[in-house]
Structure 1
Amino acid sequence: MTKTAWVFPGQGSQAIGMGADMFVLPEAQAKLAQAEEILGWSVAEVCQSEDDKVSKTLYTQPCLYTVETLLVDALRSQGHTPNLVAGHSLGEYVALYAAGVFDFETGLRLVKRRAELMDGASEGVMAALMGFDRTELEQKIQETSDVVLANDNNPGQVVISGTAEGVDAVLSQVKAKRAVKLNVSGAFHSPLMASAAAEFQAVLEPVAFSDAQVPVLSNVEPIPATDAATLKERLTRQMTGSVRWREISLQLADDGVERVVEVGPGNVLTGLIKRTCSGLALTNVNSLAALDALEQS
């Protein structure tokens, strides 16, 4: 049997209309109603709003979590199961749901508060760099205060995070094929999120986690784990810690994974993995049509 990993994208993969074909399913209606009760607004309406409301952090994260968990449910209903799971930033919450660590409601309540805190963050900026000298970049980051490597996505694509002055200093000193500042409210995955992380810790602490049914690769610690306390401790560090996606990609190959299924809108993660690990079969499940195609493959 082919060893398979499910991976879940985070903020930046959202798109207007995502999940629309699933929202009409009877089994999805109950979760959408539950989500509206928790959030105070409709995931389906926000996802289909032409004003791109879905790209505002406050809405993006709960919408992605809801859409991706619906896809997980659909995959499971057709008999699919993963051998390993991982998620990029927000996607780690879906990975934990898929692994049975907590139920839909518990995860959504955590994601709701996370989105509120991150949406309210106003300190710092983030910038993506593509096509650069890694040694040079790492040296400049070390030499510059208040800047960290926030997302280590693959050997040729990263995101840095920190104060506006610090990020500008790094961008001015590192040659890159492309560098662009991201439209986000703060310096996510950096020490500048410490205040928000402390508030979130108070919400996360009393939540009961179960041992995972399949190993989870965490953003801050890309080593397979199933222990509930370990997974929870790793999640507490996620808001201020780096997303070590390049290492997660390498770990998938080291663990003998042969097939990676990206569950969620877009194909960001399979694109990143393809540039890090050749030889893995890569599939995207972002709709019912894609799920049907998976059934036939």
Structure 2
Amino acid sequence: MPMTKTAWLFPGQGSQHPEMMADLLTAYPPAKARCEQAAAILGWSVIDCCGGRIGNLDQTLYTQPSLFLVESLLVDALKERGAKADFVAGHSLGEYVALYAAEVFDFETGLQLVQRRAALMNAAGGGKMVALIGFDREELQQAIARIPNVVLANDNHPGQVVISGLPEAVDALLAKIKVKRAVPLNVSGAFHSPFMAEAAATFATLLDECQFQEAVFPVLNNVEPEPTTDAALIKARLRSQMTGSVRWVDTCYALAAAGVTQALEIGPGNVLAGLVKRTTPEITVTGVATIASLESLV
């Protein structure tokens, strides 16, 4: 009998909600101390942010560190119960949790990187991102090739992508293609596009100072979804992530090709479960957002 292969998948921005911390605080004793550690690093409390007492959970500056904290706690709880992954991958911000899960860096390093990334992305203005649902892929790719200053930022599933770029270029593209639905995203900048180059260059200097370890589970990076455990390669790919595309469709295909038949979506919501189902229905995805959901698995 072939062994069942399992992937751990980590959602990114858009999955957050105010209740995502509640279960961990009541059902997972180490959560409180980890929240205090995070507050000392961040200068603000994720618990207070989720409770609406500080910041705005839907603002990049607060969303990314909050998600990193919640998802990393779920990873710790899974590992304490002896769970292991055959592969890990995360969507955009989720890639940082995947690297934490693979022990490429520790919690403190990961949170500091995420905080700096969030601040740089939050400060990047002048861009526009739009999710497209129901389109002709060839027509879209041809239009992107012809129109400067707009790129395919997120390839989420065969029928849903996100385009990113200068507002006038994004609008010009939308005028040229047939699309069932076009949904502007509530973001400050043109994320996952060449317009993040300045932020990415600043971030690269911080990345260079960080010590990365060999991954204990093979990682599929957003910009290059080819499994690797090599620390230098993982860092090089992460360096490209802010300006590169999130190749989630290719990630799903690579997992299926590697023999993965089940995956855990570790974090709030079920965004990734939906994307995987539409791309590789042979992979079953189970949500792990609470300690109870986690214990029913392990």
Deviation track 1:114-172 (CA, whole Å, cap 9, x = no partner) reads 00000001021100001100000011111111000000111100000000000001111
The CA RMSD measured in Å over matched residues stands at 1.2
Task: Write out aligned runs for 1:101-250 (5 A).
Answer: 101-250=104-253
- Please state how far the C-alpha of 1:177 moved relative to its aligned partner: 1.2
Q: Secondary structure at the match of 1:4?
A: strand
| 1:151 and 1:244 in contact (8 A); partners too | yes
Aligned-partner Cα distance in 1 for 2:103–2:37:
19
- How many angstroms apart in 1 are the aligned matches of 2:172 and 2:118? 29
Paired residue secondary structure (1:238): coil
Name the structure 1 match of 2:35.
32
Q: Which residue of 2 aligns with 1:279?
A: 282
Residue 273 (structure 2) aligns with = 270
Aligned counterparts, 1:5-16, within 5 A: 5-16=7-18
Q: Secondary structure at the match of 2:52?
A: coil
Give the structure 1 partner of residue 291 of structure 2.
Answer: 288
TM-score by length of 1: 0.97
- 1:97–1:104 contact (8 Å) kept in structure 2: yes
**Deviations 1:223-257, CA, capped at 9 Å, x for gaps:** 00000000000000000000000000000100001
Calculate the TM-score normalised by the size of structure 2.
Answer: 0.97
Q: 1:67, CA displacement in angstroms?
A: 0.3
Aligned residues: 295
Shift of 1:19: 2.0
Within 2, Cα distance between the matches of 1:203 and 1:260? 32
CA distance in structure 2 between the partners assigned to 1:181 and 1:73 by the alignment: 35
Opposite residue 109 of structure 1, the aligned amino acid is Q
1:4 aligns with 2:15: no
By how many angstroms is 1:289 displaced? 2.4
Give yes or no for the alignment of 1:87 onto 2:90. Answer: yes
* Matching residue within 51, 57, 79 for 2:60: 57
Aligned pair partner of 1:97 in 96, 100, 108? 100
Whether the 8 Å contact between 1:8 and 1:68 is mirrored in structure 2 is yes
1:50 deviation in Å?
Answer: 7.8
Decide which moves more: 11-20 or 142-151. 11-20
- By how many angstroms is 1:87 displaced? 0.3
Identity %: 59
What SS is found at the alignment partner of 2:225?
Answer: coil
Confirm whether residue 72 of structure 1 aligns to residue 75 of structure 2: yes
- 8 Å CA contact 2:129–2:163 kept in 1: the answer is yes
Aligned-pair distance for 1:279? 1.6
Of 13, 18, 21 in structure 2, the residue corresponding to residue 19 of structure 1 is 21
1:48-101 CA-partner distances (Å, limit 9, x unpaired): 328982111000000000000000011111111111000000000000000010
Q: Secondary structure of the residue that 2:57 maps to in structure 1?
A: helix
Contact 2:266 2:288 in 1 (8 A): yes
Distance 2:83 2:55 in 1: 32
Give, in whole Å, the separation in 2 of the partners of 1:52 and 1:229. 35
SS in 1 for 2:296: helix
What SS class does the counterpart of residue 154 from structure 2 fall into?
strand
Given residue 9 of structure 1, which amino acid in structure 2 is its aligned partner? Answer: P
Distance verdict in 2 for CA 1:230–1:65, change over 3 Å: same
Q: 1 CA distance for matches of 2:290 and 2:241?
A: 28
Letter in 2 for 1:34: Q
Q: Structure 1's 108 and 52: CA in aligned 2 closer, same or farther, altered over 3 A?
A: closer
